[in-house]
């Protein structure tokens, strides 16, 4: 302790604890920040407020159930003088003590004196909160805060609509790197969806295949109209040919896509890309 004390302090008084007021019972109150600042900045000897006790009536339990009359609650109120809060026009002046409790740990407020000694002020026996009363001044404070908040939002800069289109010029930078890959993939997906939609729209205009026409020749004709097909689409477009026959021909003339954007569809093999429509022979 001697090595930590300030220079000039006597070892006889430094760290000495005065417990004269230790038996006193004190209350620990949680204050609103603005009220705590006001009281902390007030000079010594300033009247901080008036404490008012209101006695409540204790009715028997059977009368409380019958609600013979409205019970008067017991109240503890603190009123801050207007002269003290003249520099704080938005500070509420009326408070009530709430959340009183005695279940608190052992706490001893103290003050360290100039000579290094410590004086205990007592022992905390109760704790409470100071709650603002809903008075006219309190409502005016809430109204002022709300107006200031709305006014602050109005002060924010809003970009004019006619200048918003200028931001499109900077979108060209998104076409490089990873962004270009995503954009290219998205474009391919959109184009494929359009091709499928166009094929479904023109399906009714296609001629009906003859029952004597081979499945392979039908597939060649369909692949000449569209690059990617699913078995379900081919069966519908071929006039209801058997799925088993279609799959047997596809394994010979087409490739099944297991990955990518056309996963689950068939594409004509490159060897048959120049096959003449309807005969199934290569053109040399």
Looking at the DSSP assignment, which residues form a beta bridge with residue 97?
Answer: 130
Q: Domain spans of the chain? A: 17-58+71-143, 211-284
User: How high is the pLDDT of residue 281?
Assistant: 45
Instruction: Count the helices and strands in the chain (H runs, E runs).
Output: 8, 11
Name the nearest CA neighbour of 214 among 246, 236, 178, 175. 246
The bridge status of strand 94-101 relative to strand 75-79 is antiparallel
User: How high is the pLDDT of residue 67?
Assistant: 57
Name the nearest CA neighbour of 33 among 113, 117, 90. 90
Looking at domain 211-284, which CATH architecture does it have?
Orthogonal Bundle (1.10)
Name the nearest CA neighbour of 26 among 105, 104, 123. 123
pLDDT in tens, the chain (284 residues): 445 666 667 777 787 888 888 888 888 888 888 888 888 888 888 888 888 888 877 666 655 565 556 777 778 888 888 888 888 877 888 888 888 888 888 888 888 888 888 888 888 888 888 888 888 888 888 888 888 777 665 555 555 655 545 555 555 544 455 566 777 777 778 887 777 766 655 554 455 777 778 888 888 888 888 888 898 888 888 888 888 888 888 888 888 988 888 888 988 888 877 654 444 444 43
Helices (H), 178-230: 178-201, 215-225
């Amino acid at each position: 302790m001697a090595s930590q004390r300030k220079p000039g302090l006597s070892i006889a008084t430094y760290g000495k604890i005065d417990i004269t007021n230790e038996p006193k019972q004190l209350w620990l109150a949680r204050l609103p920040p603005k009220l705590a600042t006001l009281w902390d900045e007030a000079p010594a000897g300033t009247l901080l407020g008036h404490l008012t006790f209101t006695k409540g009536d204790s009715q028997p339990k059977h009368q409380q159930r019958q609600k013979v009359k409205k019970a008067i609650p017991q109240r503890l109120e603190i009123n801050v003088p207007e002269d003290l809060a003249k520099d704080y026009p938005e500070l509420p002046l009326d408070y009530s003590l709430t959340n009183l409790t005695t279940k608190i740990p052992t706490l001893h407020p103290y003050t360290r004196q100039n000579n290094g000694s410590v004086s205990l002020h007592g022992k905390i026996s109760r704790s409470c909160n100071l709650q603002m009363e809903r008075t006219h001044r309190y409502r005016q404070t809430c109204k002022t805060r709300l107006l200031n908040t709305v006014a602050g939002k109005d002060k924010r800069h809003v970009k004019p609509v006619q200048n918003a289109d200028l931001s499109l010029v900077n979108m060209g930078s998104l076409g490089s790197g990873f962004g270009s890959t995503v954009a290219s993939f998205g474009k391919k997906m959109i184009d494929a969806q359009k091709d499928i939609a166009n094929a479904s729209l023109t399906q009714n205009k296609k001629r009906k295949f003859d029952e004597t026409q081979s499945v392979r020749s039908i597939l060649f004709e369909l692949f000449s109209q569209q690059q990617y097909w699913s078995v379900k689409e081919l069966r519908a477009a071929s006039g209801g040919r058997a799925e088993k026959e279609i799959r047997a021909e596809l394994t010979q003339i087409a490739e099944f896509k297991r990955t990518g954007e056309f996963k689950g569809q068939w594409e004509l093999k490159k060897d048959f890309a120049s096959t003449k429509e309807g005969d199934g022979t290569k053109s040399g």
